[in-house]
Amino acid sequence: MNRGKNPKRTKPRRKGAVPPRVWCWVLFWMALAALAIACSHNLAPVGEEPPPPVTEKPSLPGGLELPVLGDQDTAIYNEEGRYTFLYRPECKVSRWVAYKLTLSDVTGDAGRSDAFRPDPRLEIYGWASAGAADYKGSGYDRGHLLPSADRKCSEPANRATFLYSNMAPQLPKLNRGVWKTLEEKLRELTRDYDTLYIVAGTVLPGRWRTIGDGVAVPDLFFKAVALRKADDFEGVAYVMPNGAVALEGKRFDDFEVTVDSVERLTGLDLFPQIPGF
């Protein structure tokens, strides 16, 4: 008698058991979910260190008075005098000094210190400073970019204005004439305005003359000012020649120009954080 093949026996599935193919799908979706969570938290792959957080370059103290800095510019902040300057080591004068001026700065009791001295901050960068010997017998004054009388609030602040990084060779006719008159006028304006944001600087010719051991003599000096009253700003600027003939018979306001014209002259971007400038 022919017998048919025995039917294949299968293990009966318990009631309520999950089929294997369902478990495969569950594990697949769980793996995808874990990968999504890892990506959302920027987790590094296993065995690798997480990337360092992105941090911005620390900003200088100060604010609205600061010009835009180029990629190669190294501006230095003077804590005692509360001003920032951009030094040119190749000619031992600063391109500009930027600072804020208020009524409290000019009405203190600190007197003029006359503490002329090299700036120790320059040594950090290996830069040489001008000194007294460079000016002696040169026929030029040690002209302040930030005036001594703009820092009467304390003795340390006043002493900070006598660093040679804050000086440039000025003819006496300029330093003791219209430049001084301009400084006095700006101090008077602190009674009418909340804050003056000031950038004072030098303009050198293509081939500059020097005094002493390579201290360049600027052709021009400038001051650009943003005057603030509450939320309103006004701008004014001055460019003055460092030459006796060009100064003859002139008043300080004869040299008034626009802030834009100073930017064109110097290549600086002044008061970039103030709307309208």
Helix H or strand E segment including 201? strand 195-203
Q: Which residues fall within 8 angstroms of residue 274, CB to CB, at 6 or more apart?
A: 64, 197, 226, 233
Distance in angstroms (rounded) separating the CA atoms of residues 209 and 211: 7
* The pair of three-digit structure tokens given for residue 175, joined into one six-digit string: 């330093």
Q: Which of 95, 100, 142, 144 is catalytic?
A: 144
Q: Given CA atoms 237, 145, 190, 80 in this order, what sign does their dihedral have?
A: positive
Going from the C-alpha of 42 to that of each of 45, 47, 54, 183, the distances in angstroms are 9, 14, 13, 56
CB atoms within 10 A of CB 127: 17
The residue with tokens 């430049």 is 179
CA angle 154, 126, 263 (to 5 degrees): 65
Helices (H), the chain: 20-40, 103-106, 132-135, 155-160, 172-173, 179-189, 244-247, 259-266
Q: Is there a catalytic annotation at residue 144?
A: yes
The residue with tokens 């990337």 is 51
Q: How far apart are the first and last CA of the chain?
A: 111
Going from the C-alpha of 226 to that of each of 25, 35, 62, 127, the distances in angstroms are 69, 55, 14, 31
The separation between CA 215 and the C-alpha centre of its own chain, rounded to angstroms, equals: 24
- The residues annotated with a catalytic role in the active site are 144
